[in-house]
């Protein structure tokens, strides 16, 4: 086992979905995968391996924020040699024409996290999704008749912030679509180890209009996002 994942080598597939919420991992395993085994319960951060359309695939909760997802992504890559990592998360929209329940493919991530500044000194690294995975996810969405949004997202270190609206308006003016809390870390760590990564996000609330989904909906009803991620993972 690794420090935070109680799995043996070989228990985790080379493709993995990464929801922030461990109960979303359980939901995905129970509703989309076959022949499922639970390989991790450490810290309640459930991890499962099963099959989807005959292909072996895992799903692992990551917790919220850059430090938490960084722990899981580092261990999944370094200890379990995972190759393809797809975050399936929620986000808050900041563009007027992005609606609650829309699905976003995060092409890139802007962030207030210090993670990359610590790694690169004064240089602003540009965390970017893997193009092949992004294209596979986009094509999957088109096949399903979904109108996916593709663009830059803001990975925030704060869920609650003073003067948030001012910042979000500025980011929206620069075409950033939505706010979440993990993509920048996923993209940077995947780049370091030359692995494929993508964040697929469902809009759970609209920061400008105040419209939102319930906690139960966040946990269970994001099936479009999950199917796009699963089908892209096995393409
Ligand atoms: O629904 P998840 O995947 O946790 O993603 C979003 O929800 C959490 C905040 O409520 C943050 O982790 C944010 O990135
Ligand atoms: O990080 C997040 C996730 C969902 N909604 C938000 O407003 N922020």
DSSP secondary structure, the chain, as one string: --SS----TTSS-SEEEE-SSHHHHHHHHHHH-EEEEEEE-GGG--EEEEEETTEEEEEE---SSHHHHHHHHHHHHHTT---EEEEEEEEEE-STT--TT-EEEEEEEEE--SHHHHHHTT-----B--HHHHHHHHHHHHHTT---EEEEEEE-S-SS-TTHHHHHHHHHHTT--EEESSHHHHHHHHHHTT-EEEEEEEEEEETTT--B--HHHHHH--HHHHHHHHHHHH-
- Taking the C-alpha atoms of residue 178 and residue 100, their distance in angstroms, rounded to an integer, is 11
Residue 4 marked as a ligand binder: yes
For the CA of 226, the nearest ligand: 1
Given this model, what pLDDT does residue 23 score? 95
Task: Pick the catalytic residue from 81, 102, 205, 231.
Answer: 205
How large is the ipTM? Answer: 0.98
Position 216 scores a pLDDT of: 72
Best of 178, 209, 219 to mutate for ligand 2, by most ligand atoms within 8 A of CB?
178
CA of 20 to the centre of ligand 1 (A): 5
| Spatial distance between the Cα atoms of 137 and 121, rounded to a whole number of angstroms | 33
Strand-pairing partners, residue 58, are 16, 49
Tell me whether residue 11 is one of the annotated catalytic residues.
no
What is residue 180's predicted lDDT score, i.e. its pLDDT? Answer: 98
CATH superfamily of 15-234: Nucleoside phosphorylase domain (3.40.50.1580)
Other CB atoms within a 10 A radius of the CB of residue 141 amount to: 23
Give the mean pLDDT of the chain.
95
User: What is the Å distance from ligand 2's center to 7 Cα?
Assistant: 30
Question: Which tens digits make up the pLDDT trace of 28-53?
Answer: 999 999 999 999 999 999 999 999 99
Q: How far is CA 45 from CA 64, 133, 183, in A?
A: 11, 25, 18
Provide residues with CB under 6 Å of ligand 2: 90-92, 159, 179-181, 204-205, 207
What is the average pLDDT across 8-15? 97
Atom 5, ligand 2: which residue's CA is nearest?
A: 92
Ligand nearest to the CA of 17: 1
């Amino acid at each position: 086992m690794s420090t935070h994942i109680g799995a043996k080598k070989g228990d985790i597939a080379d493709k993995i979905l990464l929801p922030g919420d461990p109960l979303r991992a359980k939901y995905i395993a129970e509703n989309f995968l076959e022949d499922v085994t639970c390989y991790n319960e450490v810290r309640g951060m459930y991890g499962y391996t099963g099959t989807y359309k005959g292909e072996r695939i895992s799903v692992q909760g990551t917790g919220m924020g850059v430090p938490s997802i960084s722990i899981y992504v580092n261990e999944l890559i370094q200890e379990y040699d995972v190759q393809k990592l797809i975050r399936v998360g929620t986000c808050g929209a900041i563009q007027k024409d992005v609606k609650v329940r829309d699905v976003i493919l995060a092409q890139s991530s802007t962030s207030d996290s210090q993670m990359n500044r610590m790694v690169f000194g004064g240089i602003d690294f540009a965390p970017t999704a893997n193009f092949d995975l992004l294209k596979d996810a986009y094509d999957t969405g088109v096949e399903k008749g979904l109108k996916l949004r593709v663009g830059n997202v803001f990975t925030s270190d704060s869920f609650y912030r003073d003067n948030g609206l001012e910042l979000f308006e500025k980011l929206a003016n620069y075409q950033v679509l939505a706010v979440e809390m993990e993509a920048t870390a996923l993209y940077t760590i995947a780049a370091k180890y030359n692995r494929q990564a993508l964040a697929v996000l469902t809009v759970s609330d609209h920061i400008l209009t105040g419209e939102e989904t319930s906690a139960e909906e966040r946990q269970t009803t994001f099936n479009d996002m999950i199917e796009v991620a699963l089908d892209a993972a096995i393409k």
